[in-house]
Amino acid sequence: MAIYKSCEWIENGIDFDVGIYGSNIMMCCYVSCPGGGNIMLRTDYNGEPIDWDKFWRIKNSYREIQKSGQTIDKCKDCVYLQTKDWSEENHIKSVIFDHFTACNCDCVYCYTHENKEKYNSIKSYNVLNIVKDMHEKGILQRGQIGFGGGEPTILPEFDDLLNYLLDNGYDNINVPTSGIRYSAVLERGVSEGKVRVLCSLDCGCRETFKKIKNIDAFDKVIENLKKYAKAQKYYENVNSKYIICPGINDNVDEGQKWMSVCKTIGINALTISMETIWMKTHRYNNDNSGMYKFVKFMLENGKALFKYCIPENNVLQFIKAVETNYS
């Protein structure tokens, strides 16, 4: 063990990714830090067996940069970096399944709008056999597991993958979902207290939902979230997310409607986020006072009214940038 500045993903993380840069294995999926993220550990990956010795040689080369007192260029100023006593063990404790882009809605803030034709043509690959390999070899250990990319519940192997993880004792599993498709295995996961469902509701009414999601499914989502909330073992197992979209839902009235709906259907955990492209291009603007006040309003009221309310990384980056400019 040694004390140095690093993060859980540099030390013990893996991101199975697919996107405009191809099919890759990456360090993490956090791309909103000033350094840009997107550290490639392997390119042109499509679900085949992994040479773990080679994998750890590459990964440990980044660990050595951190141990030397420097910071990996792409990780500079990331809020997840912390100085602590790291174990330096070659285990995977943080996993993101980000290997798919297919979705059942079309959110205005979705990263796929950068190149819709390209993303619509991307095919996912299977990861269940790799997960089994990691588990059987003792590489995968309990920590944090998440899904990203598109809509997890429409993945062909989603039910088998999540059931395998649950059957083998893994917990702290985060599944972001549109909420449009009901999933029995998600209900199982929240009822056992092992899965955290994160649904970007982003609003409190049908009209705003259609503007953001480009689909009329607000009532269906509310119905499914109510089922998950009723089944959850702990209050944080079902989380409603509000991604702030400038010009659409960045107003107090919509924020209050969202909180009211969440209370009504039994949700007690909230997450506040921001539309990433806007945040990247505007966070250092001289006049972000209006957005800053709204972000603070959402966080303060969420924390006052609910048991759990946190900002995502991009919100922390925005607040830091604004407060730095004001100081």
% the chain with pLDDT above 70: 95
Whole-angstrom distance, CA of residue 120 vs CA of residue 264: 36
pLDDT in tens, 234-254: 999 999 999 999 999 999 999
pLDDT in tens, 183-211: 999 999 999 999 999 999 999 999 999 99
Contact 66, 72 (CB under 8 A): yes
pLDDT in tens, 75-91: 988 888 999 999 999 99
pLDDT at 123 over 90: no
Specify the range with the lowest mean pLDDT, choosing from 39-53, 106-120, 304-318.
106-120
What single-letter amino acid sits at 115? Answer: N
Whole-angstrom distance, CA of residue 42 vs CA of residue 66: 20
Coil, strand, or helix at residue 42?
strand
Is residue 274 very low, low, confident or very high in pLDDT (cuts 50, 70, 90)? Answer: very high
Contact 317, 36 (CB under 8 A): no
What single-letter amino acid sits at 144? Answer: Q
Please, which residues bridge with residue 176 across strands?
Answer: 198
Average pLDDT of the segment spanning 220-244 = 97
Closest CA to 301 of 293, 312, 290, 291: 293
Positive or negative torsion for Cα 313, 145, 11, 16: negative
pTM of the predicted model as reported, rounded to 2 decimal places: 0.87
Residue 43 burial by CB count (10 A; 0-12/13-18/19+): exposed, middle or buried? Answer: exposed
Coil, strand, or helix at residue 145?
strand
pLDDT at 120: 75
Average pLDDT of the segment spanning 150-162 = 96
Whole-angstrom distance, CA of residue 238 vs CA of residue 199: 8
